[in-house]
Structure 1
């Protein structure tokens, strides 16, 4: 990409899209095109076609998606499957049709089998059963990967697919019904502190291990790979380090300043036992994450405190 390329960031108001937008501006890209959901519904083919026909986009960062944690995925499986497939199909097809030079598709580490060998290499995709609580979202994302690869194979379309670890950071979703684990815990511990509660309850046993990547690191990796990677084969983006959910909760408790106890609710599901990505491929290209977990959580909590009145 050069500084004057016409760059479309799909989903620019979300956690990932907003980070990509910030990073592009930081690097001096001058011609960034965005549309809110009210301005452009990516699930509607005709609207997406008209957009690409008129705007003549050079590069696409496809960060638009319906996302959520275990509860949201388990409660709205049809929505997660339908909406994500519609968005992917519409954007990838019209990007190719109307001459986009390159498209970056964002997947998720949940595409990998529930009991995958660790750390998870890219070629472990489709080698085992998915985690049941988020299989609908995972299947939608796998369909997006395969569509990207199909357009590359059949038409020579330059499209790359990134599989990030669990994300967090500014503009995250802190709604306890739909959020992922890290922002949910931040809000829970904050409210427990404010309300002088004795305990905070976390779902499951606390033993599952997760890898957490600050969204600003992901945005940096997206721009790096858009400029330095041209293979249709998927590529993992992560830190190469994981932490148990219980230890994460203890870390957040300390950062927030909550003085009570942590209680585990073992009647709730744990999800996948462990998800640690093998990032050898990305590291060999010359990119590594820069934001340590503790610093990232501290910055995210500061953002939460500044914005919580607008969040809920």
Structure 2
């Protein structure tokens, strides 16, 4: 049986290493840990520790020996980036995962949390998506390289738990947005891409904005701060038995909407009143990707930030962080 004890499985005195602390997910996890009273947070910038360098990672773990590790570091991007750089997405993510997970296990880390992605699931699996459908069908071709890397991470954690008793757990978040998102013109995910596109269009007085695809795919969105709280909750309360067939938990809101509806909501939030056009010659990605979040709910966690609240605060954070943006040639906003 999974651990359902009310006694937390991590302690405020634990040294907790958050790999990828500068990213949207990692920074949110650090904030949630601090709110929870976990003050011994270890971090390392890319300049201080190259997670793709196996020797450097092993040396860092031997020197610092964290009791708890959260692996939020990854090479990420939307459809355009995934489809353009498949080898990079597969190789770099495999290196990061293998180096951190193996070094944590070998150095005596007591507990590790690996962050995956909802793209691990088959393209046309039943909806809402239950954890059990992993590896039951073909992946979405436009992001299969990233998905394969993440599936490997889940299985490595499960294998180490089964063979060596290493307390490694995995969470699969849905599409994230919030403070610290990547607003790169070609490498961003759909929410960030839409925010940037509509902001620039409003600033320029553009009569229309063209978005990728048909606008019909359905997507679910989770605010990064909800993910941060989910990670702390899982670290405190989730520890599956090695014999359980499912060794990961979905993290999401359980509610989705079409990309067309999302674009309209982003436009209203930004204050853009022009026409929204759709380029159906561009890929849509997976038709629907809504997570079943019942298993995590049984552990006492649910998302709390509504899309309206989260979108408004995210746009304010975007304006504060970026100010006027250079308008660069790029594809229209892709859906992931």
Deviations 1:107-144 (A, max 9, x none): 00000001011000001000100000000000000111
Specify whether residues 311 and 89 from structure 1 end up closer, same or farther in structure 2 by C-alpha distance, changes over 3 A only: farther
Give the one of 168, 172, 176 matched to 2:181: 172
Q: State the alpha-carbon separation in 1 of the partners of residues 232 and 289 from structure 2.
A: 24
Taking structure 1 as the reference length, what is the TM-score of the superposition? 0.98
Contact 1:174–1:311 (CA under 8 A) maintained in structure 2? no
- Matched with 2:318 is 304
2:263 corresponds in structure 1 to 249
- C-alpha change, 1:310 and 1:21, in structure 2 (3 Å) is farther
- Which whole-Å CA distance do the structure 2 matches of 1:193 and 1:265 have between them? 20
Aligned mates of 1:92, 1:305 — CA distance in 2: 36
Other structure's SS at 2:298 match: helix
Unpaired segments ≥5 residues, structure 1: none
Aligned to 1:276: 290
Q: Shift of the alpha carbon at 1:17?
A: 0.4
| TM-score, normalisation: structure 2 | 0.92
Query: What are the within-5 Å matches in structure 2 for residues 91-240 of structure 1?
Result: 91-231=100-240, 233-240=247-254
For the residue of structure 2 that corresponds to 1:12, the secondary structure is coil
Provide Cα deviations, 1:236-286, integer angstroms capped at 9, x if missing partner: 000010000000000011111101010000010000000000001011111
Measure how far apart 1:309 and its partner are: 3.8
Indicate the residue corresponding to 2:332 in structure 1.
none
Aligned positions of 1:60-71 closer than 5 A: 60-71=69-80
| Counterpart secondary structure, 1:19 | helix
Q: Does the aligned pair in 1 maintain the 2:200–2:325 contact within 8 Å?
A: no
CA distance in structure 1 between the partners assigned to 2:24 and 2:325 by the alignment: 13
Higher relative contact order (CA 8 A, sep 6+): 2
In structure 1, what is the equivalent of residue 35 of structure 2?
26
Report the secondary structure of 1:285's partner residue.
Answer: coil
**What secondary structure is seen at the aligned counterpart in 1 of 2:196?**
helix
Provide the secondary structure at the position in 2 that maps to 1:160: strand
| Distance across 2 between alignment mates of 1:22 and 1:302 | 18
Structure 1 position 8 matched with structure 2 position 14? no
Structure 1 partner of 2:302: 288
Q: 1:299: how far off? A: 0.4
SS in 1 for 2:69: strand
Mapped pair 1:38 → 2:82: no
1:275-312 CA deviation, whole Å, 9 max, x = no partner? 00000101111111000001101000000010114986
Runs of 4 or more consecutive aligned structure 1 residues displaced over 4 Å after TM superposition = none
Structure 1 or 2: more helix by fraction: 1
Contact 1:239 1:279 in 2 (8 A): yes
Q: Secondary structure at the match of 2:92?
A: helix
Measured in 2, the distance between the counterparts of 1:310 and 1:53 equals 44
